[in-house]
């Protein structure tokens, strides 16, 4: 259990940011992972008094306060409708309802944990983080970046027309994932675009670059989709770095990258191909 000497419920983001500049201080999210640490925190900075526990939806955007719980994300009708249930699928296996009532969206994203379903899901979406000092940063850039002492205020999702698919492989239903895969097909005026994110490699989630342009012409017609899916799966497996941990070997993860991306292509490709 971590030791905390002082607790401060921040009265403004400025105050939170200022306190957070001290290395021995920490912003606390849901406290779930932080609690298990062994170190000492001088001052725990709590953002829960800043009304950042709201999800705001407009026509083109969903704005998620950093203190929004994973359970709120899971139950949000707008996110559910926009992602076609994929957001819920990304969240529902995480430990249990009581856990998800505490864990925060901000904490999950800021931590950039390798095992994170949440990061995998947001990475595939057209999403951004709003940092107090750093301004709005694309999720992809944030996910790949290092830790600094800025304050993550919100997560922003641009609601581009899209179809989603989320899947994960787990040794037990509520365990950490062995691999996560989020896939999106963005429907544009000229055709479609896509994005695939793979997490729990076991390293941080990344976006698969379609270097060979297998999907660059869009998804093929239904009949030949299997072939395209196979090709993309093989490509992804070859290019997504994977490692071993207690839950699975690097070789198994490579194999799962292939299987999950193949299945994702078949799922999001749409009925007719486009």
Partner 1 sequence: MNTVNRPVRKKDAMQLLTGQPVYTDDIAPKDCLIVKLLRSPYASAVIKDIETDIAMKIPGIEAVYTWKDVSQEERRFTLAGQTYPEPSPYDRLLLDRRVRYVGDPVAIVAGADDKCVDKALSLIRVEYEVLDPILDFRKALDNPVLVHPEENWESLCPVGADNKRNLCAHDESSQGDIEKVLGECEIVLDRVYHTKACQQTMMETFRTFCTIDTYGRLSVVSSTQIVFHCRRIIANALHIPKSMVRVSKPRIGGGFGAKQTSISEIYPAFVTWKTKKPSKIVFSREESMTASTPRHEMEMHVRLGAMKDGRIRGIDLYTLSNTGAYGEHGPTTVGLSGHKSIPLYGKAEAFRFVSDVVYTNVMSAGAYRGYGATQGLFAVESAVNELAAMLHMDPIRLREQNIVRQGDVMPAYYGQENTSCALDRCLAKVREMIKWDEIYPAKDMGNGKVRSVGMGMAMQGSGISGVDVGSAVLKLGDEGIYNLLIGAADMGTGCDTILAQIAAEVLDCGMEDIIVFGADTDASPYDSGSYASSTTYVTGKAVENCALKLREQICRLGARLLGCEYDQVEFDGKEVIWDGEHKVSLKDIATASMCGNDILLEASATHSSPISPPPFMAGAAEIEMDLLTGETKVVNFAAAVDCGTPINPNLARVQAEGGILQGIGMALTENITYDGKGRVLENSLMQYKIPARVDTGRIQVAFENSYEETGPFGAKSIGEVVINTPLPAVADAVYNASGLRFRELPITPCQIAMGRIREE
Partner 2 sequence: MLITVELNGKNVCAEVEADTLLIDFVRDHGCYSVKRGCETSNCGLCTVFLEDKPVLSCSVLAVRADGKKVTTLEGMQEEAEQFGAFIADQGAEQCGFCNPGFVMNALALFRENPEPGEEEIKEYLAGNLCRCSGYEGQLRGILAFLEWRKKEGRS
> Which residues contact partner 2 by CB under 8 A?
1-7, 9, 28, 30-32, 35-36, 44, 46, 48, 71, 92, 95-99, 101-102, 173-174
Q: How far is the CB of 252 from partner 2 (least distance, A)?
A: 24
Q: Considering beta carbons, is residue 20 or 261 the nearer one to partner 1?
A: 261
Q: Considering beta carbons, is residue 65 or 111 the nearer one to partner 1?
A: 111
Report strand pairing: 26-28 vs 40-46: parallel
Give the C-alpha separation, 254 to 270, whole Å: 26
Contacting range for partner 1; rule: CB under 8 A; set: 14-22, 49-57, 117-125, 243-251: 243-251
Residues 6 or more apart whose CB falls under 8 angstroms from that of 164 comprise: 83, 84, 85, 86, 87, 124, 125, 182, 183, 184, 268
Give the C-alpha separation, 107 to 86, whole Å: 20
Q: Is the dihedral of CA 144, 121, 156, 211 positive or negative?
A: positive
The HSE-up count of residue 139 (CA atoms within 13 Å, CB side) is 26
Contacting range for partner 1; rule: CB under 8 A; set: 18-26, 80-88, 140-148, 166-174: 166-174
Contacting range for partner 1; rule: CB under 8 A; set: 6-14, 41-49, 62-70, 253-261: 253-261
Contact status: 252 vs partner 1 (CB under 8 A): yes
Q: Considering beta carbons, is residue 76 or 93 the nearer one to partner 1?
A: 93
Q: Considering beta carbons, is residue 246 or 272 the nearer one to partner 1?
A: 246
Q: How far is the CB of 241 from partner 1 (least distance, A)?
A: 18
Q: Which of 197, 256, 264, 268 binds partner 1 (CB under 8 A)?
A: 256
Contact status: 99 vs partner 1 (CB under 8 A): no
Q: What does 28 bind: partner 1, partner 2, none (CB cut-off 5 to 8 Å by kind)?
A: partner 2
Binding mask 200-239 for partner 1 (x = CB under 8 A): ----------------------------------------
Contact status: 4 vs partner 1 (CB under 8 A): no
Q: How far is the CB of 129 from partner 2 (least distance, A)?
A: 24
Contact status: 246 vs partner 1 (CB under 8 A): yes
Contact status: 24 vs partner 1 (CB under 8 A): no
Interface ranges with partner 1 (CB under 8 A): 169-176, 178, 246-249, 251-252, 255-256, 259-260
């Amino acid at each position: 259990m971590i030791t905390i000497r002082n607790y401060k419920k921040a009265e403004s983001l400025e105050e939170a940011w200022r306190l957070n500049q001290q290395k021995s201080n920490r912003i606390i999210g849901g406290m779930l992972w932080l609690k298990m640490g062994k170190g000492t925190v001088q001052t725990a900075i709590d953002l829960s008094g800043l009304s950042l526990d709201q999800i705001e939806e407009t026509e083109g955007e969903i704005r998620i306060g950093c203190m929004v719980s994973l359970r709120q994300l899971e139950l949000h009708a707008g996110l559910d409708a926009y992602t076609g249930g994929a957001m819920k699928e990304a969240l529902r296996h995480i430990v249990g309802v009581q856990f998800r009532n505490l864990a925060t969206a901000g904490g999950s994203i800021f931590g950039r944990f390798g095992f994170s379903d949440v990061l995998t899901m947001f990475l595939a979406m057209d999403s951004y983080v709003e940092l107090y000092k750093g301004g709005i940063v694309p999720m992809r850039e944030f996910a790949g970046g290092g830790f600094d002492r800025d304050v993550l205020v919100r997560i922003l999702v641009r609601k581009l027309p899209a179809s989603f698919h989320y899947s994960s492989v787990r040794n037990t239903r509520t365990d950490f994932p062995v691999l996560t895969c989020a896939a999106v097909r963005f429907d544009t005026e000229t055709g479609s675009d896509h994005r695939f994110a793979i997490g729990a490699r076991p390293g941080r989630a990344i976006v698969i670059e379609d270097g060979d342009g297998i999907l660059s012409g869009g998804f093929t017609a239904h009949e030949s989709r299997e072939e395209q899916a196979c090709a993309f799966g093989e490509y992804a497996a070859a290019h997504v770095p994977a490692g071993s941990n207690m839950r699975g070997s690097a070789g198994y993860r490579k194999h799962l990258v292939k299987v999950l991306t193949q299945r994702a292509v078949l799922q999001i490709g749409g009925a007719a191909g486009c």
